[in-house]
Chain A
Protein backbone atom coordinates (compact mmCIF):
# COMPACT_ATOMS: atom_id res chain seq x y z
CA UNK A 1 0.00 0.00 0.00
CA UNK A 2 1.50 3.34 -0.99
CA UNK A 3 1.70 6.32 1.33
CA UNK A 4 -0.31 9.48 0.84
CA UNK A 5 2.12 12.40 0.73
CA UNK A 6 1.18 16.06 1.00
CA UNK A 7 3.53 18.99 0.74
CA UNK A 8 1.79 21.90 2.43
CA UNK A 9 2.84 25.54 2.47
CA UNK A 10 0.97 28.15 4.53
CA UNK A 11 -0.75 29.45 1.42
CA UNK A 12 -1.72 26.22 -0.29
CA UNK A 13 -1.13 22.53 -0.81
CA UNK A 14 1.80 22.33 -3.20
CA UNK A 15 1.75 18.65 -3.90
CA UNK A 16 -0.41 15.68 -3.11
CA UNK A 17 0.75 12.29 -4.42
CA UNK A 18 0.84 8.62 -3.58
CA UNK A 19 4.40 7.60 -2.94
CA UNK A 20 6.52 4.59 -2.17
CA UNK A 21 9.26 6.41 -0.35
CA UNK A 22 9.98 9.84 1.13
CA UNK A 23 13.44 10.95 2.14
CA UNK A 24 14.17 14.08 4.11
CA UNK A 25 16.81 15.58 6.35
CA UNK A 26 15.98 16.54 9.91
CA UNK A 27 17.45 19.32 12.03
CA UNK A 28 19.80 16.94 13.80
CA UNK A 29 21.58 16.53 10.47
CA UNK A 30 20.75 12.99 9.39
CA UNK A 31 18.69 11.79 6.48
CA UNK A 32 15.61 9.78 7.26
CA UNK A 33 13.57 7.75 4.81
CA UNK A 34 10.01 6.61 5.22
CA UNK A 35 8.36 3.59 3.73
CA UNK A 36 4.86 2.24 4.15
CA UNK A 37 4.12 1.22 7.72
CA UNK A 38 6.58 3.60 9.36
CA UNK A 39 5.94 4.34 13.02
CA UNK A 40 4.28 7.66 13.84
CA UNK A 41 6.93 10.32 13.64
CA UNK A 42 7.31 14.07 13.92
CA UNK A 43 10.52 15.72 12.87
CA UNK A 44 11.81 19.23 12.33
CA UNK A 45 13.29 19.61 8.86
CA UNK A 46 16.60 21.17 7.97
CA UNK A 47 16.90 23.55 5.03
CA UNK A 48 17.49 20.82 2.53
CA UNK A 49 15.99 18.70 -0.21
CA UNK A 50 13.01 16.38 0.15
CA UNK A 51 12.99 13.37 -2.10
CA UNK A 52 9.67 11.76 -2.96
CA UNK A 53 9.43 8.56 -5.00
CA UNK A 54 5.88 8.46 -6.33
CA UNK A 55 4.06 5.28 -7.29
CA UNK A 56 4.40 6.21 -10.91
CA UNK A 57 6.50 8.82 -12.60
CA UNK A 58 9.90 10.29 -11.98
CA UNK A 59 11.16 11.10 -8.48
CA UNK A 60 9.94 14.45 -7.19
CA UNK A 61 12.33 16.84 -5.54
CA UNK A 62 11.42 19.83 -3.43
CA UNK A 63 13.48 22.38 -1.57
CA UNK A 64 12.18 23.03 1.94
CA UNK A 65 13.44 25.87 4.08
CA UNK A 66 12.77 24.49 7.51
CA UNK A 67 9.44 23.06 8.52
CA UNK A 68 8.12 19.73 9.74
CA UNK A 69 7.39 16.29 8.59
CA UNK A 70 4.79 14.12 10.25
CA UNK A 71 3.90 10.54 9.51
CA UNK A 72 0.79 8.94 10.85
CA UNK A 73 -1.03 5.92 9.43
CA UNK A 74 0.88 6.18 6.16
CA UNK A 75 -0.12 9.81 5.78
CA UNK A 76 2.99 11.89 5.27
CA UNK A 77 2.57 15.60 5.73
CA UNK A 78 5.41 17.97 5.01
CA UNK A 79 4.76 21.47 6.34
CA UNK A 80 7.05 24.23 5.30
CA UNK A 81 6.85 28.04 5.30
CA UNK A 82 8.87 28.04 2.16
CA UNK A 83 8.89 25.11 -0.17
CA UNK A 84 9.63 24.90 -3.87
CA UNK A 85 9.29 22.03 -6.29
CA UNK A 86 12.28 21.34 -8.52
CA UNK A 87 10.69 22.95 -11.58
CA UNK A 88 9.90 26.12 -9.61
CA UNK A 89 13.50 26.75 -8.66
CA UNK A 90 15.15 29.65 -10.44
CA UNK A 91 18.66 28.19 -10.84
CA UNK A 92 20.35 31.40 -11.98
CA UNK A 93 18.92 33.31 -9.05
CA UNK A 94 19.84 30.60 -6.55
CA UNK A 95 23.37 30.48 -7.98
CA UNK A 96 23.70 34.24 -7.68
CA UNK A 97 22.38 34.09 -4.11
CA UNK A 98 24.88 31.36 -3.25
CA UNK A 99 27.79 33.37 -4.68
CA UNK A 100 26.67 36.48 -2.86
CA UNK A 101 26.28 34.63 0.45
CA UNK A 102 29.69 33.00 0.04
CA UNK A 103 31.28 36.39 -0.54
CA UNK A 104 29.59 37.75 2.58
CA UNK A 105 30.68 34.75 4.61
CA UNK A 106 34.22 35.25 3.30
CA UNK A 107 34.16 38.76 4.76
CA UNK A 108 32.52 37.77 8.03
CA UNK A 109 32.35 34.08 8.86
CA UNK A 110 29.94 34.80 11.75
CA UNK A 111 27.29 36.38 9.53
CA UNK A 112 24.16 34.39 10.47
CA UNK A 113 21.96 35.87 7.76
CA UNK A 114 24.48 35.05 5.05
CA UNK A 115 24.89 31.53 6.43
CA UNK A 116 21.13 30.99 6.26
CA UNK A 117 21.01 32.47 2.76
CA UNK A 118 23.76 30.09 1.66
CA UNK A 119 21.90 27.11 3.12
CA UNK A 120 18.73 28.15 1.29
CA UNK A 121 20.55 28.65 -2.00
CA UNK A 122 22.27 25.27 -1.65
CA UNK A 123 18.96 23.54 -0.90
CA UNK A 124 17.53 25.08 -4.07
CA UNK A 125 20.52 24.11 -6.17
CA UNK A 126 20.44 20.56 -4.82
CA UNK A 127 16.79 20.31 -5.69
CA UNK A 128 17.39 21.55 -9.21
CA UNK A 129 20.15 18.99 -9.58
CA UNK A 130 22.97 21.51 -9.92
CA UNK A 131 24.58 20.42 -6.65
CA UNK A 132 24.58 16.83 -5.49
Chain B
Protein backbone atom coordinates (compact mmCIF):
# COMPACT_ATOMS: atom_id res chain seq x y z
CA UNK B 1 0.00 0.00 0.00
CA UNK B 2 1.25 3.51 -0.81
CA UNK B 3 1.01 4.82 2.76
CA UNK B 4 3.30 2.05 3.98
CA UNK B 5 6.00 2.99 1.49
CA UNK B 6 5.81 6.55 2.65
CA UNK B 7 6.27 5.53 6.25
CA UNK B 8 9.34 3.43 5.41
CA UNK B 9 10.88 6.33 3.51
CA UNK B 10 10.21 8.72 6.36
CA UNK B 11 12.02 6.35 8.72
CA UNK B 12 15.02 6.09 6.39
CA UNK B 13 15.26 9.84 6.05
CA UNK B 14 15.30 10.15 9.81
CA UNK B 15 18.11 7.61 10.14
CA UNK B 16 20.15 9.27 7.37
CA UNK B 17 19.65 12.57 9.17
CA UNK B 18 21.01 11.29 12.46
CA UNK B 19 23.95 9.61 10.71
CA UNK B 20 24.68 12.95 9.09
CA UNK B 21 24.69 14.64 12.47
CA UNK B 22 27.25 12.14 13.73
CA UNK B 23 29.54 12.42 10.73
CA UNK B 24 29.31 16.21 10.86
CA UNK B 25 30.33 16.16 14.53
CA UNK B 26 33.24 13.83 13.76
CA UNK B 27 34.33 16.10 10.95
CA UNK B 28 34.40 19.11 13.25
CA UNK B 29 36.25 17.22 15.97
CA UNK B 30 38.86 16.04 13.48
CA UNK B 31 39.26 19.56 12.15
CA UNK B 32 40.27 20.84 15.58
CA UNK B 33 42.48 17.80 16.14
CA UNK B 34 44.35 18.44 12.89
CA UNK B 35 45.15 21.95 14.05
CA UNK B 36 46.28 20.65 17.42
CA UNK B 37 48.44 17.95 15.87
CA UNK B 38 50.01 20.49 13.54
CA UNK B 39 50.77 22.75 16.46
CA UNK B 40 52.44 19.86 18.25
CA UNK B 41 54.48 19.03 15.17
CA UNK B 42 55.52 22.66 14.84
CA UNK B 43 56.45 22.84 18.52
CA UNK B 44 58.60 19.72 18.16
CA UNK B 45 60.47 21.01 15.14
CA UNK B 46 63.08 23.22 16.89
CA UNK B 47 64.40 20.23 18.82
CA UNK B 48 64.80 17.96 15.82
CA UNK B 49 66.30 20.74 13.70
CA UNK B 50 68.77 21.61 16.39
CA UNK B 51 69.75 18.02 17.03
CA UNK B 52 70.25 17.51 13.28
CA UNK B 53 72.45 20.56 13.04
CA UNK B 54 74.54 19.45 16.01
CA UNK B 55 75.05 16.04 14.39
CA UNK B 56 75.99 17.68 11.11
CA UNK B 57 78.55 19.78 12.93
CA UNK B 58 79.92 16.67 14.59
CA UNK B 59 80.11 14.68 11.38
CA UNK B 60 81.71 17.59 9.55
CA UNK B 61 84.21 17.81 12.37
CA UNK B 62 85.10 14.21 11.58
CA UNK B 63 83.52 12.39 14.47
CA UNK B 64 83.74 8.63 14.08
CA UNK B 65 81.63 7.35 11.22
CA UNK B 66 81.58 3.78 12.46
CA UNK B 67 79.11 4.41 15.21
CA UNK B 68 76.80 1.37 15.50
CA UNK B 69 73.83 3.42 14.36
CA UNK B 70 75.60 4.78 11.29
CA UNK B 71 77.23 1.69 9.85
CA UNK B 72 75.76 -1.07 7.69
CA UNK B 73 75.41 -4.54 9.11
CA UNK B 74 76.55 -6.74 6.20
CA UNK B 75 76.13 -10.01 8.12
CA UNK B 76 72.57 -9.41 9.19
CA UNK B 77 69.75 -10.75 7.07
CA UNK B 78 66.71 -9.23 8.72
CA UNK B 79 64.91 -6.15 7.49
CA UNK B 80 62.78 -4.45 10.12
CA UNK B 81 59.75 -2.33 9.39
CA UNK B 82 58.07 0.17 11.63
CA UNK B 83 54.54 0.71 10.32
CA UNK B 84 52.62 3.64 11.74
CA UNK B 85 48.82 3.25 11.52
CA UNK B 86 45.89 4.53 13.54
CA UNK B 87 43.98 3.00 16.42
CA UNK B 88 40.59 3.87 15.07
CA UNK B 89 38.90 3.58 11.71
CA UNK B 90 36.55 5.87 9.81
CA UNK B 91 39.45 7.68 8.27
CA UNK B 92 39.09 6.72 4.62
CA UNK B 93 42.08 5.11 2.97
CA UNK B 94 44.55 6.33 5.58
CA UNK B 95 45.46 2.94 7.05
CA UNK B 96 45.14 0.78 3.96
CA UNK B 97 47.45 3.05 1.93
CA UNK B 98 50.32 2.92 4.38
CA UNK B 99 49.78 -0.77 5.15
CA UNK B 100 49.73 -1.72 1.46
CA UNK B 101 52.91 0.21 0.84
CA UNK B 102 54.69 -1.38 3.78
CA UNK B 103 53.51 -4.85 2.80
CA UNK B 104 54.75 -4.41 -0.77
CA UNK B 105 58.13 -3.30 0.50
CA UNK B 106 58.22 -6.22 2.92
CA UNK B 107 57.40 -8.74 0.18
CA UNK B 108 60.10 -7.26 -2.05
CA UNK B 109 62.58 -7.77 0.78
CA UNK B 110 61.37 -11.34 1.24
CA UNK B 111 61.96 -12.07 -2.42
CA UNK B 112 65.53 -10.96 -1.94
CA UNK B 113 65.70 -13.82 0.55
CA UNK B 114 65.67 -11.70 3.67
CA UNK B 115 63.82 -12.28 6.87
CA UNK B 116 61.54 -9.57 8.20
CA UNK B 117 60.67 -8.11 11.55
CA UNK B 118 57.52 -6.09 12.05
CA UNK B 119 56.98 -3.33 14.55
CA UNK B 120 53.46 -1.94 14.33
CA UNK B 121 52.09 1.24 15.82
CA UNK B 122 48.29 1.40 15.98
CA UNK B 123 45.71 -1.36 16.36
CA UNK B 124 44.53 -1.13 12.75
CA UNK B 125 47.90 -2.20 11.42
CA UNK B 126 48.20 -4.86 14.06
CA UNK B 127 44.82 -6.36 13.09
CA UNK B 128 45.75 -6.37 9.42
CA UNK B 129 49.08 -8.10 9.83
CA UNK B 130 47.86 -10.49 12.50
CA UNK B 131 44.97 -11.59 10.31
CA UNK B 132 47.39 -12.37 7.51
CA UNK B 133 49.65 -14.37 9.81
CA UNK B 134 52.61 -12.06 9.76
CA UNK B 135 54.94 -12.28 12.70
CA UNK B 136 54.65 -9.11 14.74
CA UNK B 137 57.62 -8.46 16.99
CA UNK B 138 56.24 -5.48 18.81
CA UNK B 139 53.06 -3.48 18.65
CA UNK B 140 52.08 -0.23 20.27
CA UNK B 141 48.45 0.70 20.83
CA UNK B 142 47.07 3.95 22.17
CA UNK B 143 49.98 5.89 20.73
CA UNK B 144 48.79 7.08 17.35
CA UNK B 145 46.18 9.58 18.44
CA UNK B 146 48.36 11.92 20.47
CA UNK B 147 51.92 10.63 20.51
CA UNK B 148 54.20 11.76 23.30
CA UNK B 149 57.97 11.71 23.30
CA UNK B 150 57.83 8.86 25.78
CA UNK B 151 55.93 6.80 23.16
CA UNK B 152 58.60 7.58 20.57
CA UNK B 153 61.24 6.45 23.02
CA UNK B 154 59.51 3.09 23.51
CA UNK B 155 59.19 2.55 19.76
CA UNK B 156 62.84 3.48 19.28
CA UNK B 157 63.90 1.06 22.00
CA UNK B 158 62.20 -1.76 20.08
CA UNK B 159 64.66 -1.45 17.20
CA UNK B 160 67.72 0.41 18.41
CA UNK B 161 69.36 -2.25 20.50
CA UNK B 162 68.76 -4.94 17.92
CA UNK B 163 70.27 -2.76 15.25
CA UNK B 164 73.24 -1.79 17.39
CA UNK B 165 73.96 -5.42 18.16
CA UNK B 166 74.04 -6.14 14.44
CA UNK B 167 71.05 -8.46 14.06
CA UNK B 168 69.14 -6.09 11.81
CA UNK B 169 70.36 -5.16 8.34
CA UNK B 170 68.07 -2.21 8.01
CA UNK B 171 65.08 -0.52 9.56
CA UNK B 172 62.42 1.12 7.41
CA UNK B 173 59.81 3.49 8.68
CA UNK B 174 56.41 3.45 6.95
CA UNK B 175 54.18 6.35 7.86
CA UNK B 176 51.97 9.00 6.34
CA UNK B 177 53.67 12.28 5.74
CA UNK B 178 51.62 15.40 6.31
CA UNK B 179 52.19 17.85 3.47
CA UNK B 180 49.17 20.09 3.96
CA UNK B 181 45.55 19.69 4.96
CA UNK B 182 44.62 18.42 1.50
CA UNK B 183 47.63 16.21 0.79
CA UNK B 184 49.10 13.42 2.86
CA UNK B 185 51.41 10.89 1.41
CA UNK B 186 52.31 7.42 2.59
CA UNK B 187 56.05 6.90 2.48
CA UNK B 188 58.54 4.19 3.35
CA UNK B 189 61.80 5.70 4.50
CA UNK B 190 65.11 4.09 5.29
CA UNK B 191 65.54 4.76 8.95
CA UNK B 192 68.58 2.81 10.09
CA UNK B 193 71.48 2.87 9.37
CA UNK B 194 71.13 6.59 9.90
CA UNK B 195 72.03 8.81 7.03
CA UNK B 196 72.56 12.27 8.34
CA UNK B 197 71.43 14.61 5.64
CA UNK B 198 71.30 18.33 5.52
CA UNK B 199 67.79 18.96 4.30
CA UNK B 200 68.33 22.71 4.40
CA UNK B 201 65.95 23.22 7.29
CA UNK B 202 68.52 22.41 9.95
CA UNK B 203 70.75 24.77 11.81
CA UNK B 204 70.94 28.48 12.19
CA UNK B 205 72.62 28.96 8.84
CA UNK B 206 75.66 30.49 10.47
CA UNK B 207 78.99 28.74 10.47
CA UNK B 208 80.53 28.13 13.84
CA UNK B 209 82.91 30.72 15.13
CA UNK B 210 86.26 29.16 14.40
CA UNK B 211 86.55 25.57 15.53
CA UNK B 212 83.97 24.03 17.79
CA UNK B 213 84.93 23.04 21.26
CA UNK B 214 83.62 19.71 22.47
CA UNK B 215 83.08 18.34 25.87
CA UNK B 216 83.68 15.51 26.50
CA UNK B 217 84.76 14.70 22.89
CA UNK B 218 83.10 14.59 19.46
CA UNK B 219 82.75 10.81 19.72
CA UNK B 220 81.45 10.98 23.26
CA UNK B 221 78.83 13.51 22.25
CA UNK B 222 77.89 11.46 19.19
CA UNK B 223 77.33 8.44 21.43
CA UNK B 224 74.92 10.48 23.47
CA UNK B 225 73.22 12.32 20.69
CA UNK B 226 72.53 9.61 18.10
CA UNK B 227 70.06 7.67 20.27
CA UNK B 228 68.26 10.98 20.90
CA UNK B 229 68.27 11.58 17.17
CA UNK B 230 66.66 8.19 16.52
CA UNK B 231 63.95 8.99 19.05
CA UNK B 232 63.39 12.42 17.65
CA UNK B 233 63.04 11.07 14.09
CA UNK B 234 60.46 8.55 15.25
CA UNK B 235 58.70 11.23 17.26
CA UNK B 236 58.35 13.52 14.27
CA UNK B 237 57.11 10.58 12.15
CA UNK B 238 54.48 9.82 14.80
CA UNK B 239 53.40 13.45 14.94
CA UNK B 240 53.17 13.63 11.16
CA UNK B 241 51.15 10.43 11.09
CA UNK B 242 48.79 11.70 13.75
CA UNK B 243 48.17 14.96 11.87
CA UNK B 244 47.60 12.94 8.69
CA UNK B 245 45.20 10.61 10.45
CA UNK B 246 43.04 13.45 11.68
CA UNK B 247 43.15 15.15 8.28
CA UNK B 248 42.16 11.89 6.58
CA UNK B 249 39.31 11.40 9.04
CA UNK B 250 38.14 14.95 8.52
CA UNK B 251 38.03 14.39 4.77
CA UNK B 252 36.30 11.03 5.05
CA UNK B 253 33.68 12.47 7.38
CA UNK B 254 33.12 15.46 5.17
CA UNK B 255 32.46 13.13 2.25
CA UNK B 256 30.10 11.09 4.43
CA UNK B 257 28.22 14.22 5.48
CA UNK B 258 27.88 15.33 1.87
CA UNK B 259 26.66 11.90 0.84
CA UNK B 260 24.13 11.86 3.65
CA UNK B 261 22.87 15.25 2.54
CA UNK B 262 22.52 14.02 -1.03
CA UNK B 263 20.80 10.83 0.05
CA UNK B 264 18.40 12.82 2.17
CA UNK B 265 17.40 15.04 -0.75
CA UNK B 266 16.94 12.01 -2.96
CA UNK B 267 14.85 10.14 -0.42
CA UNK B 268 12.73 13.21 0.31
CA UNK B 269 12.00 13.51 -3.38
CA UNK B 270 11.01 9.87 -3.65
CA UNK B 271 8.87 10.20 -0.55
CA UNK B 272 7.05 13.29 -1.86
CA UNK B 273 6.40 11.54 -5.14
CA UNK B 274 5.02 8.54 -3.29
CA UNK B 275 2.80 10.79 -1.21
CA UNK B 276 1.57 12.64 -4.26
CA UNK B 277 0.96 9.34 -6.02
CA UNK B 278 -1.15 8.08 -3.16
CA UNK B 279 -3.16 11.32 -3.04
CA UNK B 280 -3.70 11.19 -6.80
CA UNK B 281 -4.77 7.59 -6.53
CA UNK B 282 -7.22 8.46 -3.79
CA UNK B 283 -8.74 11.30 -5.82
CA UNK B 284 -8.94 9.03 -8.81
CA UNK B 285 -10.69 6.44 -6.69
CA UNK B 286 -13.24 8.94 -5.40
CA UNK B 287 -13.88 10.44 -8.80
CA UNK B 288 -14.00 6.97 -10.34
CA UNK B 289 -16.45 5.83 -7.66
CA UNK B 290 -18.65 8.84 -8.22
CA UNK B 291 -18.57 8.29 -11.96
CA UNK B 292 -19.48 4.66 -11.44
CA UNK B 293 -22.44 5.59 -9.26
CA UNK B 294 -23.52 8.12 -11.84
CA UNK B 295 -23.34 5.58 -14.63
CA UNK B 296 -25.31 3.07 -12.58
CA UNK B 297 -28.33 5.29 -12.00
CA UNK B 298 -27.90 7.45 -15.09
CA UNK B 299 -29.17 10.99 -14.70
CA UNK B 300 -27.89 13.96 -12.76
CA UNK B 301 -30.68 13.69 -10.18
CA UNK B 302 -28.76 10.79 -8.61
CA UNK B 303 -26.23 13.12 -7.15
CA UNK B 304 -26.87 13.48 -3.47
CA UNK B 305 -27.06 17.25 -3.49
CA UNK B 306 -29.96 17.31 -5.82
CA UNK B 307 -32.03 15.18 -3.46
CA UNK B 308 -31.47 17.60 -0.66
CA UNK B 309 -34.42 19.90 -0.72
CA UNK B 310 -34.97 22.49 1.98
CA UNK B 311 -37.62 20.17 3.44
CA UNK B 312 -34.95 17.65 4.33
CA UNK B 313 -33.15 20.13 6.46
CA UNK B 314 -36.01 21.32 8.58
CA UNK B 315 -37.46 18.97 11.15
CA UNK B 316 -40.85 20.70 11.37
CA UNK B 317 -41.58 19.61 7.84
CA UNK B 318 -41.03 16.00 8.74
CA UNK B 319 -44.76 15.21 9.04
CA UNK B 320 -45.50 16.93 5.81
CA UNK B 321 -42.79 14.92 4.12
CA UNK B 322 -44.19 11.65 5.38
CA UNK B 323 -47.61 12.35 3.91
CA UNK B 324 -46.31 13.60 0.61
CA UNK B 325 -45.21 11.10 -1.98
CA UNK B 326 -41.54 11.56 -2.81
CA UNK B 327 -40.23 12.59 -6.21
CA UNK B 328 -39.83 8.99 -7.24
**A residues neighboring B (CB under 8 Å):** 6, 8-13, 26-28, 32, 39-44, 66-68, 70, 72-73, 75, 77, 79, 81
Interface string of B87-109 (1 = CB under 8 A from A): 00000000000000000000000
A44 touches B148 (CB 8 A): no
Q: Is the interface of B mostly helix, strand, loop or mixed?
A: helix
Q: Are A72 and B231 in contact (CB under 8 A)?
A: no
Q: How large is the interface on B (under 10, 10 to 19, 20 to 34, 35 or more residues)?
A: 20 to 34
Q: In the bound complex, how far is the Cα of B244 from the Cα of A101, in angstroms? A: 42
Please list 22 pairs of residues, one from A and one from B, whose beta carbons are closer than 8 Å in the complex, sorted by A's number: A6-B46, A8-B47, A10-B44, A10-B231, A11-B149, A12-B44, A26-B216, A32-B215, A39-B209, A40-B211, A42-B213, A43-B221, A44-B216, A44-B220, A44-B224, A68-B225, A73-B206, A75-B204, A79-B47, A79-B50, A79-B228, A81-B228
| Tally of contacts, chain A with chain B, CB under 8 A | 92
**Among candidates B40, B50, B212, B214, residue contacting A77 with C-beta atoms closer than 8 Å:** B50
Q: Tell me the complex Cα distance, A33–B119, Å.
A: 43
Tell me if B210 is interfacial: C-beta within 8 Å of chain A.
yes
Does B235 make an interface contact (CB < 8 A)?
yes
Decide: A68 and B216 in contact? CB cutoff 8 A.
Answer: no
In the complex, the chain A residue whose C-beta lies closest to that of B147 is A11
A68–B221 touching, CB < 8 Å: yes
Interface of A (DSSP majority class)? strand
Inter-chain contact B46/A42, CB cutoff 8 Å: no
- Chain A residues with CB under 8 A of B208: 40, 72
Binding-face segment, B51-59, B110-118, B317-325: B51-59
B220 lies within 8 A of A40 (CB): no
| Interface pair A42/B214, CB less than 8 Å apart | yes
Question: Which residue of chain B has the shortest Cβ distance to A70 in the bound complex?
Answer: B54
Q: 15 additional contacts, CB 8 Å, given A13-B43, A40-B210?
A: A10-B149, A10-B235, A12-B43, A12-B44, A39-B213, A40-B209, A40-B212, A41-B213, A42-B57, A42-B58, A42-B221, A44-B224, A44-B225, A79-B50, A79-B228
Chain A residue with Cβ nearest B206: A73
Q: Are B149 and A81 in contact (CB under 8 A)?
A: yes
**A77 to B49 CA separation, bound complex (whole angstroms):** 11
Determine the distance from Cα of A72 to Cα of B221 in the docked complex, in whole angstroms.
17
Tell me the nearest residue of chain A to B232, going by C-beta. Answer: A10
Contact A79 B206 (CB under 8 A): no
Chain B residues near A27: list those with CB within 8 A: 215-216, 220, 224
The smallest C-beta distance from A72 to any residue of chain B, in angstroms, reads 6
Binary CB contact string for chain B from 194 to 212 against chain A (1 if under 8 A, 0 otherwise): 0000000000101011111
Q: What chain B residues lie within 8 Å of A72 (beta carbons)? A: 204, 206, 208-209
Q: How far is the CA of A70 from the CA of B225 in the complex (A)?
A: 12
Q: Do B224 and A68 touch across chains, with their CB atoms under 8 A apart?
A: yes
Which residues on B sit within 8 Å (CB–CB) of A10?
44, 47-48, 149, 152, 231-232, 235
Which residues of A have CB within 8 Å of B43?
11-13
